[in-house]
Amino acid sequence: MKKELIELRVNGRAYELALEPCTLLLDALRLDLQLTGSKRGCDDSSCGSCTVQVDGIPMLSCTMLAASCEGQEITTIEGVCEHGSLAAIQKAYGDWGGAQCGFCTPGFIMTVKHLLRANPDPTDAEIRGALSGNLCRCTGYNQMYQAIKAAIVAEQKGVARASSPAR
């Protein structure tokens, strides 16, 4: 297939890429831009490891064409850090055991970032519901809920560092 020039805006920067029109966004990110934080965990849009935000909405980058994102703002896990430091949710995931092997973590964080923006004080059921499109095989999800709550508290306090779990 013939390649075409496509302009993608990723994490606030513009990139011009020559891509086949059938190139998936995930492949463009991973192979052409070396943004390997977004992962491929499945073949059939079932795992959520590839989640990125397109204009602020979490999307499965394995199931969209790169070309369809032209003119939109794509945010990947690499764009989540704040001023070179961990964002509250990233710190909290580490502190509370929300990430074990970490393979699912970028996808979850992109989903959670959206949840907390849309609903800064979610109930337990809302958190569960929001995470249900992402799969994790390590954590059993419980510690992610703790991390999310800690991140909310940290954000509210305006400190970038979530308190560590107390015993």
Partner 1 sequence: MTDFSVIGKPIAMIDAAGKTTGAGKYTDDLSVPGMLVGRILHSPYPHARIKRIDTSRAEKLEGVVAVAIGKDAPNTYGILPVGHDEHALALDKVRYVGDNVACVAAVDEATADRALELIDVEYEVLPAYFDPEESMKAETDLIHDNKPHNLEKDYHHVFGDPDKGFAEADCVAEARFVAGEVTHAAMEPHSTLASFEIDSQTGKPGRLIVWSSTQVPYYLQHKLSLVLDVPMAQIRVIKPLVGGGFGGKSEVIPLEIIAAIAARKARAPVKITYTREEVFWAHRGRPRTLIDLKTGVKRDGSITAVKARVMQDGGAYCSYGVVTILYSGALLGALYDIPNIQYDGYRVLTNKPACGAMRGHGTVNVRFAFESQLDELAARINLDPAEIRRRNLLKAPCVTVNGLRVQSYGLPECIEKTIERSGWRDRKGKLGKGRGLGIACSHYVSGAANSIIRSDMPHSTVNIKIDRDGGVVVYTGASEIGQGSDTMTAQIAAETLGCSLGRIRIVAADTDLTPIDIGSYSSRVTFMAGNATLRAAVEVKKQIASAAARKMGCTADDLVFRDDLVVRKKLAGESHAATLVSAAVPSEASVSERVEGQILRGSLQQKRKDEGPKDSMSFEEAVVAAIDFHGTLTGTGSYAPPAEARGGKHKGGGVGPSPAYSYSAQVAEVSVDEGTGEVTVHKVWAAHDCGRALNPVSVEGQIIGSVWMGMGQALTEEMVWKDGMLMNPGLLEYRSPSSVESPEVEPIIVESIDPEGPFGAKECSEGSLAATIPAIANAIFDAVGVRMHESPFTPERVLAALRAKKNAKPINLTDGVDPTNPARFREHGGSLWFKGKGPERHALDPSRLAAPLEAGGDD
Choosing among ligand FES, partner 1, none, which partner's interface includes residue 140 (Cβ < 5 to 8 Å by kind)?
Answer: partner 1
Residues lying near partner 1 in the complex (CB under 8 A) are found at: 30, 35-44, 46-47, 49, 76-78, 80-81, 86, 90-91, 93-97, 99-106, 109, 127-129, 131-144, 161, 164-167
Of 135, 138, 145, nearest in space to 115 by CA:
145
Q: How crowded is residue 149: how many other Cβ atoms within 10 Å of its Cβ?
A: 17
Identity of the residue numbered 147 = A
Query: Which residues, including other chains, have CB under 8 Å from residue 28's CB and lie 6 or more apart?
Result: 6, 8, 17, 19, 66
First-last CA distance in the chain? 58
Site string for ligand FES, 93-112 (x = CB under 6 A): ------xxxxxxx-------
Radius of gyration of the chain (CA): 16
Name the residue nearer to ligand FES (CB basis): 142 or 156.
Answer: 142
153 binds ligand FES (CB under 6 A): no
Name the residue nearer to ligand FES (CB basis): 3 or 137.
Answer: 137
Whole-number Å distance between alpha carbons of 64 and 90: 26
Name the residue nearer to partner 1 (CB basis): 16 or 44.
Answer: 44
Per CB under 6 A, residues contacting ligand FES are: 40-42, 45-50, 60, 62, 99-105, 136-139
